[in-house]
A and B are shown apart, each in its own frame.
Chain A
Amino acid sequence: MKIAVENLTLKLNNRPILKNISLQLNPNKLIMLLGENGAGKTQFIKTIMGFHHSDRGSIYYDNKNIKNISLKERAKLISYVSQGTIPGLRYRVFELISMGHTPHLGYFEKPSKEMKAKEEHIMKEFGVWDFRNAFLDEISGGECRLVYLCKALVQDTPWLILDEPTAFLDYKKQHDFLKRLKTLAKDQGKGVFMSIHNPSIASQYGEILILLKNGEIVDIIDKGKDGYEKLSLALSNLYEHDMVFEDTSMGKLLIWKE
């Protein structure tokens, strides 16, 4: 499935948030959205999800305008992980994860045995299984992100859209997490679109980098095609600060010039 955005303009309380954005998102590659605080990353994601009604422009899932796709159908196409977690939510980890089945269930249906088996597999894969019986307000912020990701994977959709999923993860977990997302995109052919703050991690894992500034797309870099030089120029332009990639024995390293 492709996601297409055409001439998208969004205002919230009369403040322009997104300005005339057009782009197309394709699956199979890890797509990352970069931008400073307040650039409009979260609102862009929310608009693509259909949570905001745009003032102008349209969003299409596979050439079908999202206005014509029911909420339930949309939930079968895209799963979403929001930025924040609800404090004090007295739900257990496995309960939250099992909520991912909802779009595939009728009103009186319960998850089937296969669904449960898949759920277990995902929980084990992401190291959540051991604390599945804990309450959400008893686990750490990073663990909580993993739980929400598991919920999104249980939802079993062609697309995953994540709003700063690595924000609360420790350094190792960030790398593990992104490696897994990349595998999901490459091996399972899923579409993965996420926002992120760290440009050096983004340029390590991201294959397509979308740079957003003041509600406008300033650059879309396909790392494979455009190469690191163009990427460093685009990043320097985005953050208005010189950045360069240096070759090291372990790969490219992004340096923020003093």
Chain B
Amino acid sequence: MKKTIFLSILLFFTFLLSCCIGRYYLSIVDIVHIITDSGNSSAMDINIFFKIRLPRAILVTISGSALALSGFVYQSLFKNPLVSPDVLGVSGGASVGAIVAILFFSGSSVMIQVSSFFCSMFVVFCSMLLAKYMGGKPMYTMVLAGIIMSSLANAIIMSLKYLADPVKHLASIEYWLMGSFNATTWKDVLIVFTISFIATTILFFIKRRLWILALGDHEAQALGVHIRMITTLAILCATVLVSAVVSISGIVSWIGLIVPHIVRVFTGENYLENFTQSILVGGILLLIADTLARTLSASEIPISILTSFMGAIFLVIFLFLRNRSRV
């Protein structure tokens, strides 16, 4: 519990710092003045804080939390720590949707969001349907079905990129595929918040049942857990979380895979607490990545470059720590 409180405080300060840092610097005092409407904040300060920094920081926090929680749920469902939210093809689907919108619907942001959201849900739905008809152990066939659907999605992505106009479209496709929280609006925040809030609440409801699934089907059933209902609900919620995030920001890689590991290594293995801690650490990590993305160079760096980089470093540290503790 103490660790969860510490992480909440850390998230708060990271959030505050993320609001301060940028090409236009706002001090904490400035922010307090803006919020309390005391002192004489300039119109510029107010505009930057309320129209740019605050919505972006909120969206980034929610996105990081959503991706991390989704990763945590997927890893526990599939009993495999190497599973990321991508396992059922959600990113592939989202990418196809976004590229189709960029190529054929003039790339308006609303079209990209709607199209990538529904495409990603559709691909996951196909994976689950395919797994159902393939039979066998559900969790194994689901991973296989996910690989098949991701591969199909990749084939479509590559064909669409091949056909895309290199001058007009290719750059925006590539940019979308690397993700960014640039030009976040309050509308984006509201959409992602609403969807994530619902999905996260449902996951909180079924947290204890999800935890029990790892004991195996019969043990879980004997404890009164509806395996199929809980599994389907968890996959649905975890997928909705990722779909909502990537449809707004583009692909954000690694967060879903790496955060549950970081949480387990640094706060100890305790399922019910790790669940909440993943949400907090996801927010913290993505806030750091996003702050770096918009401050490291003159032009903004796509977020996935940083998250991939951070992910790789964290994975090395994680493996190193794990091996050392075993020796």
Point out residues on A near B: beta carbons under 8 Å.
Answer: 46, 49-51, 71-76, 78-80, 82, 84, 86, 89-92, 95-96, 99-100, 102-103, 105, 107-108, 135, 155
Contact = CB atoms under 8 A, between A and B. Distances in A.
Q: Which 6 pairs from chain A and chain B are nearest by CB?
A: A75-B224, A80-B222, A72-B224, A103-B224, A107-B205, A102-B223
Chief secondary structure at chain B's binding surface: helix
A234 B269 CA distance: 51
B221 interface: yes
A79 B215 CA distance: 14
A207 B270 CA distance: 42
Interface string B32-65: 0000000000000000000000000000000000
Interface string B218-245: 1101111110000000000000000000
Contact of A91 (B205, B218, B226, B271): B271
A74 B224 contact: yes
Contacts of A108: 204-205
A96 B270 CA distance: 11
A99 B211 contact: yes
Interface of B: 204-206, 208-209, 211-212, 214-219, 221-226, 269-271
A102 B206 contact: no
A135 B264 CA distance: 14
A74 B221 CA distance: 9
A194 B208 CA distance: 28
Given A51-B221, A80-B222, A99-B215, A90 B269 contact: yes
A46 B223 contact: no
B218 A102 contact: no
B223 A95 contact: no
A71 B270 contact: no
A46 B216 CA distance: 14
A51 B212 contact: no
Given A91-B214, A100-B223, A102-B223, 7 more contacts: A51-B218, A73-B224, A75-B224, A82-B219, A96-B215, A102-B208, A105-B208
Nearest to A70: B224
5 contacts: A72-B224, A92-B269, A95-B271, A102-B223, A102-B225
A78 B270 contact: no
Nearest to A49: B222
Given A89-B215, A92-B270, A95-B271, A78 B222 contact: yes
B218 A71 contact: no
Given A80-B219, A91-B214, A91-B271, A107 B206 contact: yes
B216 A82 contact: yes
B210 to A, nearest CB: 11
B226 A71 contact: yes
Contacts of A82: 216, 218-219, 222
A41 to B, nearest CB: 15
